[in-house]
Amino acid sequence: TIVLGALGAAVGVNMTFLYPYTLLARGWGKEHRGLKNFDLAVSMFLPFVLTTSLVVIACANTLHVQGIRVQGAVDAAHALAPVAGIAAGRVIFSLGVLGMCFTTLTIEMVICGFVLSEMFGFEPRGWAYRAATMTANIGLLGAFYPTPFWLPVLASSIALVMMPVAYIAFFILQNKRSYLGDEVNRGFKGTVWNILLLLAILVVAVGAIVKILSLF
């Protein structure tokens, strides 16, 4: 559930909704393809692939070899102990978690603004959009409500179930000439892209099936 929740929260929301709506809000088109690729690499590949992989490798080489089982955030902070010590490691790790919370809250606010602007038909700018972004702050009430701390993780893992539908739609649109015209995937590059899309569909489909089976 934790792994599927992380996948659903990080990839599902950002890739299927936030990023395309950000491109629309910026007014980017074909002439901005280079900027789009750079922005995609810096904002998604680095944090979600490279950084996450380094964190996993660091924990495996510091915690696993010592037989430390990570049951919570405090246990994960021991990964910094060989470098900064136990006390300083916990402080640094806690500051990192706090920073992650603030950056995530910012993203969720932007998403709420885009969602409500699409629902009610106003432009993603001005006071209406700013007020819409503030709806995400309702989540702060969770700190004062006796809801299980892992409930957002469970909700994100359930959201993963819908990701195969979105990925299949992407695959169809990427190969639909009536939609993309001359920009449709062709040749070797198109074949490679389709293979990668099919692999992505397979991964999220397996994750969705695992989650569905875990509910019974």
Range with top average pLDDT, 51-55, 199-203, 205-209, 211-215? 199-203
pTM value is: 0.66
Task: Calculate the average pLDDT of the chain.
Answer: 78
Q: pLDDT tens digits for 40-52?
A: 778 777 777 777 7
The torsion angle over the Cα atoms of residues 93, 96, 98 and 99, rounded to 10 degrees, is: 170
Confidence label for 147 from pLDDT (cuts 50, 70 and 90): low
Q: Which two tokens stand for residue 109?
A: 């606010």
Q: State residue 1's pLDDT score.
A: 63
Distance CA 62, CA 54 (A): 12
Is pLDDT of 17 > 80? no
